[in-house]
Amino acid sequence: MRFLIIGGSDVGISAALRAREVNREATIIVVLADGYPNFSICGLPFFLSGETPHDLLLWHIATSIDVARRVVEVIDRDGHHKLLPYDRLLIATGAAPLVPEIPGITLPGVHTLHTMDESFGVHRQLLDQNPRSAIIVGAGYIGVEMADALVHRGLDVTLVGKTESVLATVDLELGNIIGLELRRHAVDVRTDVNVDGIFQSDGLRVVGSNGFEKSADIVLLATGVKPASELALNAGMTTGMRNAIRVDGGMRTNLPDIYAAGDCVETWHRVLQNHLYLPLGTTSPKQGRVAGENAMGGTAEFRGSVGTQVVKIFDLAAGRTGLRDNEAKRARFNPRTLETTVWDHKTYYPGAQRMTFRVTGDVDTGKLLGAQIVGHWRSEVAKRVDIFATALFYGMGVDELDDLDLSYTPPLSSPWDPVQLAAQNWTRR
């Protein structure tokens, strides 16, 4: 059995590890476009044991798939072509950055942040040129995290986003709280701005709508991603939303013995009961594990995602799972979203912090549809989002959260956990 994997990030390595567990005799080859296989902590022993290094083709780009002959053509960085045969093939090509089509994106000092080499380039400029100011274009997860990181390095940071508030994956009310936290740490937050161009003038000058114009020493583009599915498209694989590869629950494509997983594929959403493009770092290794097992003859199923995400911004953490109100309406639910602010633990124990919850449920059925939380990063925001995510995964009603036997001690929670208090508020009202 010859199992060929195109892509060596979480998906590819998870698939290789699972395939090796299932079939110790298979030949497993991972093709990487760069030189940085993402083994992750669970894969390091497998690497250090000496079992995998010769099966990693570093700095090789897959250029085409011949489905009839069952071969993949690759090219190395010296321009040499090779044909790699396969019995089973996994497409794990991930996502590519969405780079805005504006003047100036190729100027020195303008960086995207997607590959290891790109991050090394930013790091070199930070060390060698000692920039004092930065403009980050894009106010999503990577944008707000980079604002936090660069402030900690002592830079003056401007964060530019085209949406009404930062972190548009949460409701406006919570995005505004995050915006205040960024401003509290001296980040110049500019929303409702579409960037029109970057010019070399007094450093790098960024110009946009609503009169935005500002210069900085370094510009980072964090404007989202798209599925890297060109290889699959050219081979005849069926695609769906945003040209992401369409797969079944076993991560099989429409072509024989070819699997796909990770940020290049559509993901089954358990609440929507539909496929959508939802690239997440937690989803990819699960899908890769399923693909690796099934490539060795298994019957594993990826059971879907509910879109759980969390991010830390200075002293705050923000998380979400499931659907927001507008997303639920588009899916033809009858949603109601209610906001609740509660203490993260008993107030007589020092250090209690306020947490803001927004719970979305279906008025007709009482089913939980989604939840969002913003609170101090020490307030177990991630743990509490995960409680909602678990409830969503198993289709629970909002009122059923009251029945959960959650842990309690005064320094960490209350007899009714904040999750339950937020759920009770929704049910009561």
pLDDT tens-place string over residues 249-283: 999 999 999 999 999 999 999 999 999 999 998 99
Q: Higher-confidence residue: 202 or 237?
A: 237
Q: Higher-confidence residue: 162 or 37?
A: 162
| Averaged pLDDT score across all residues of the chain | 93
Which residues, in sequence order, are CB contacts of 320 under 8 Å at separation 6+? 169, 170, 307, 308, 309, 310, 370, 371, 372, 373, 385
What percent of the chain is predicted at pLDDT more than 90? Answer: 89
Arithmetic mean of pLDDT, 58-67: 95
Q: How confident is the model at residue 8 (pLDDT cuts 50, 70, 90)?
A: confident
Q: Higher-confidence residue: 404 or 34?
A: 404
Q: How confident is the model at residue 35 (pLDDT cuts 50, 70, 90)?
A: confident
pLDDT of 38 reads 65
pLDDT of 202 reads 82
pTM confidence score: 0.91
Please answer whether residues 161 and 184 qualify as being in contact, where contact means their C-beta atoms are separated by less than 8 angstroms: no
Give Cα separations from 65 to 85, 87, 207, 235, 422 (angstroms): 10, 13, 42, 6, 51
Residue 46 has pLDDT above 50, yes or no: no
Arithmetic mean of pLDDT, 299-325: 97
Query: Among 63-67, 280-284, 372-376, 377-381, which stretch is predicted with the lowest mean pLDDT?
Result: 280-284
Q: Residue 71's CB: how many other CB atoms inside 10 A?
A: 17
pLDDT of 195 reads 96
pLDDT of 40 reads 45
Residue 42 has pLDDT above 50, yes or no: no
Q: Higher-confidence residue: 233 or 42?
A: 233
pLDDT of 9 reads 87
Arithmetic mean of pLDDT, 290-303: 98
Residue 53 has pLDDT above 50, yes or no: no
pLDDT tens-place string over residues 102-142: 999 999 999 998 777 888 888 899 999 999 999 999 999 99
Residue 54 has pLDDT above 80, yes or no: no
Residue 147 has pLDDT above 50, yes or no: yes
Arithmetic mean of pLDDT, 314-331: 97
For the chain, domains (ranges, CATH) are 2-95+226-295 (3.50.50.60), 110-223 (3.50.50.60), 309-428 (3.50.50.60)
Which residues, in sequence order, are CB contacts of 152 under 8 Å at separation 6+? none
